[in-house]
Structure 1
Amino acid sequence: MKSLAATLVGLIAPVQAGLRFPCSTLTIQRLDPVVEPGNIPSAHVHHIVGGNAFNATMEGDVGERATCTTCQMSEDFSNYWTAHLYFKHPTNGSYHRVPVLPVQPLLGGSQGAQGGLTVYYTQFDLTRDNLGKQKITSFPPGFRMTVGTPTEPGKPRVGLRYQCLQGQNRGRELDDFPTGPCSGGIFTTHHFPACWDGKNLDSPDHQSHMYNTVTRDGFLNAGPCPSSHPIRMPQVAFETVWDTTKFNSMWPSGGKNPFVWSFEGTGGGTHADYMFGWKGDSLQRAMDKSECFYDGCGSIQKQQMAVANRCAIKETVVEQTDGCKFSLESMRERKVLTLWQGW
């Protein structure tokens, strides 16, 4: 299985446009305005990037409310987040937050990003059959969606992939965590569906208003949008590098994988959230362009990452999120993560 970057290289064509850019970390907190709006704190810790309008309850036009963004594209005030990765100490059971490294972009360096992730918006579901056949419609204000779920890890995980970094070599794509230490860290990809029902900005499960044309692999074999979800939207994906290297010496040879997500779940429960927040029609202008692979598409202003890195929000949930001990009560019954007292 090729990585997303490698797949895209093979698909560069005059009719295809795409954005690829870094976003530094905005905050690491237990907040989730999509799945748990208004809950302070939310059930588990998230790694969040993007605009500074992020808070426990987000409605309406996020792009109009934000005043800065940690993303390189200065008109992108969207928010992107995943559960945070932890190392579970094999001796005392404590949980230690895994640091985040900037993804090395396909073209050029990391542009000075601090932690964060790399975001993709492509015009097509990465299949030659669809190139140039359907207009791409930008997300409307207030739109949000999720991919994956922490509560049903046994379901198909299309588009959710792990790779074991050995230096800069990403290796093959995996459905779950690597089974041995990775000298360069663990690389994760979250690939969102791209077909919209044209009506709902959200749905009760935060996924039903979208349809994934990919049936098996995350970045291949995409089909046309069905009549139930006829609107082709930008293909959103993001990648994260988790710097697991300092924990490798504590992973015994042949031992059980010591890494878990912040909901104390294993690889199959990985998930991600997206909340649209581009300013005005900036994303639509980019998607209307061609021959602008991986740049601003001639219409989007970039900012220096030194400027993006100054964007920040206050801590809403003030608590220790490293070196802690978690007690997982029944996720099936309560769907909450209770923290042991005394951490």
Structure 2
Amino acid sequence: MRQRHKVNGTRRKALFGVAGLVLGGGGLVAINVGANASDSSEPSAGGVVCPGVEDRLGDVPQPASAEVQRNLELMKRDMEAADTRLSSEQGVSSRTVLDPLRSKRAAILERIEIAVERAGAERPKDLQSLATCTAAGTGAATKTPGGNGQQSPQQPPATGTPQPSGGPAPEDFVDITRAQPNVQPVRNGGAASKGAFRTRCGVNKAGRFNSDNVIVAPGVSNGAHHTHDYVGAVGVDAFTDDDALAASRTTCTNGDRSTYYWPVLRDRDGVQESDADKQGGGAEGNTGKILTPVRVSLEFIGNPNSKVTAMPRFLRIITGDAKANANGGANANARFTCTGFENKVELRDKYPVCPQGSKLMRVSKFQNCWDGKNTDSANHRSHVAFADQRGVCPAGFRPIPQLVQRVTYNGLAGSTAFAIDSFPESLHKPITDHGDFINAMPKKLMKKAVKCINSGRRCG
């Protein structure tokens, strides 16, 4: 009989005691995440009951143990938060609490599976069947999408505003006409590189989407747990390598084979997308119709302090942080604005409510300094950096062209029923917006871009 974890809203005990026991030379770790067996108290009226996970994990490889432990602790916190809400909020329905919890657990269990598999062990079987929790007295839980052949739930109809339980919250939106101007003009020095090079790659009208992340999780399907929009190189997914990029077809008009990708934006106002019950989509809390931008601007600009040098081919850059709300915001770099306000207001942790006649715009400004050696790094960040306000790079770094990406959407004036895709635990917060770029420009094209930028011209 499967062990089940019980959370009591008034008497909480430690649910996950994680202990590592190295098993003789094989690099395996036995992880015990059992519930407190001596706790015989029954859950409160709002108590949340979730399936135990430890009996399905078996021996976890040593390289995966830290990641597995971190994810198990995250499940614990999610379960406690759900129990607190169900126990303390008057009138809240169990489905409002349990559906988002199920989505979060499904994503976390998937990450555990990936961690174990990447460490060289067999992927744990049927973990997705453990995603569904129940509330005391409510009977059967909502079925887990895609788990053990169980049926997917019907999505609740949208109401014109996002569902608070899965985010974003009403306070994540602000009327941009009431926001204080905060965009400062660039002050160029005498040696500044004042030019710009634009590459035109379209707006992904063909609908080439996937929930992979070739930079952070190469070789792992659904590594992003949210859906990405792509322009540039055609057919990029988790298994695309440098050779594939170099030989790829491209949507760019100048032969640029770089890949540019970012989380999709969805209209959550009552319209379902075809991925409503799929990984990266509705199964992980990303619901609604995927919106195609009306314009994607990809512009490489110079440095206010000096000339720029060429980026190396296959340089990888991530700007922003998909988990910024959980990570303290250290790497956050989201910028939202509306057309007509681009040079006045950029919102970093709010979605703008645009006035009639204005379009929503997402702005991503990528790192503009490079360490001169590496095209990637273990954390995918330390090989690149941002210059300071004067344009000075950190010691050991050199200035490179800065990619400024602007993605513009029509039809959202006055709306608060949209959100970017996110990890389930990130709740679609605007601060989690991010962009990814792999430079695969042919060397001649990069040389042309650098010459254009350093000479002060606008090209492309």
Paired residues in the alignment total 255
TM-score normalised to structure 2 length? 0.49
Q: Partner amino acid for 2:232?
A: G
Q: Partner amino acid for 2:335?
A: R
Q: List aligned pairs for 1:190-229, cutoff 5 A.
A: 190-214=364-388, 221-228=389-396
Say whether 1:95 aligns with 2:276: no
Looking at CA atoms only, which structure, 1 or 2, has the larger radius of gyration?
Answer: 2
Distance in 2 separating the partners of 1:140 and 1:62 = 17
Q: Which residue of 2 aligns with 1:69?
A: 250
Do the aligned partners of 2:367 and 2:386 also contact (CA within 8 Å) in 1? yes
Q: Which residue of 2 aligns with 1:302?
A: none
SS at structure 2 position matched to 1:82: strand
Say whether 1:260 aligns with 2:452: no
Distance in 1 separating the partners of 2:189 and 2:355 = 29
Go from structure 1 to structure 2 and tell me whether the alpha carbon gap of 1:158 and 1:21 turns closer, same or farther (over 3 Å shift). Answer: same
Distance in 2 separating the partners of 1:158 and 1:11 = 28
Share of identical aligned residues, percent? 21
Q: Which residue of 2 aligns with 1:317?
A: none
RMSD: 3.3
Q: Deviations over 1:158-209 (max 9, x none)?
A: 65311133xx554522113345354333111000111111222111221111
Q: Deviations over 1:55-110 (max 9, x none)?
A: 322333555312x32123x231101111111233489998223523333xxxxxxx
SS at structure 2 position matched to 1:23: coil
Q: Which residue of 2 aligns with 1:84?
A: 264
Say whether 1:245 aligns with 2:412: yes
Q: Which residue of 1 aligns with 2:337?
A: 163
Say whether 1:52 aligns with 2:226: no
Do the aligned partners of 1:61 and 1:277 also contact (CA within 8 Å) in 2? no
TM-score normalised to structure 1 length? 0.64
Q: List aligned pairs for 1:16-165, cutoff 5 A.
A: 16-26=194-204, 27-42=208-223, 43-52=225-234, 54-61=236-243, 64-66=246-248, 68-72=249-253, 74-89=254-269, 95-103=287-295, 117-124=296-303, 127=304, 130=305, 133-134=306-307, 136-153=308-325, 154-156=328-330, 159-165=333-339
SS at structure 1 position matched to 2:241: coil
Distance in 1 separating the partners of 2:449 and 2:338 = 33
Q: Which residue of 2 aligns with 1:323?
A: none
Go from structure 1 to structure 2 and tell me whether the alpha carbon gap of 1:101 and 1:231 turns closer, same or farther (over 3 Å shift). Answer: same
Distance in 1 separating the partners of 2:429 and 2:230 = 20
Moved more, 41-50 or 268-277: 41-50
Give the drift of 1:237: 1.4
Say whether 1:236 aligns with 2:399: no
Go from structure 1 to structure 2 and tell me whether the alpha carbon gap of 1:12 and 1:2 turns closer, same or farther (over 3 Å shift). Answer: farther
Q: Which residue of 2 aligns with 1:106?
A: none
Structure number with higher relative contact order (C-alpha < 8 Å, ≥ 6 residues apart): 1
Give the drift of 1:14: 9.6
SS at structure 1 position matched to 2:215: coil
Moved more, 232-241 or 20-29: 20-29
Distance in 2 separating the partners of 1:243 and 1:138 = 35
Distance in 2 separating the partners of 1:95 and 1:23 = 27
Do the aligned partners of 2:230 and 2:261 also contact (CA within 8 Å) in 1? yes
Q: Deviations over 1:26-57 (max 9, x none)?
A: 42222221122122233110111001252322
Go from structure 1 to structure 2 and tell me whether the alpha carbon gap of 1:237 and 1:259 turns closer, same or farther (over 3 Å shift). Answer: same
Do the aligned partners of 1:88 and 1:94 also contact (CA within 8 Å) in 2? no
Give the drift of 1:156: 4.4
Say whether 1:277 aligns with 2:440: yes
Q: Deviations over 1:307-340 (max 9, x none)?
A: xxxxxxxxxxxxxxxxxxxxxxxxxxxxxxxxxx
Do the aligned partners of 2:226 and 2:263 also contact (CA within 8 Å) in 1? yes
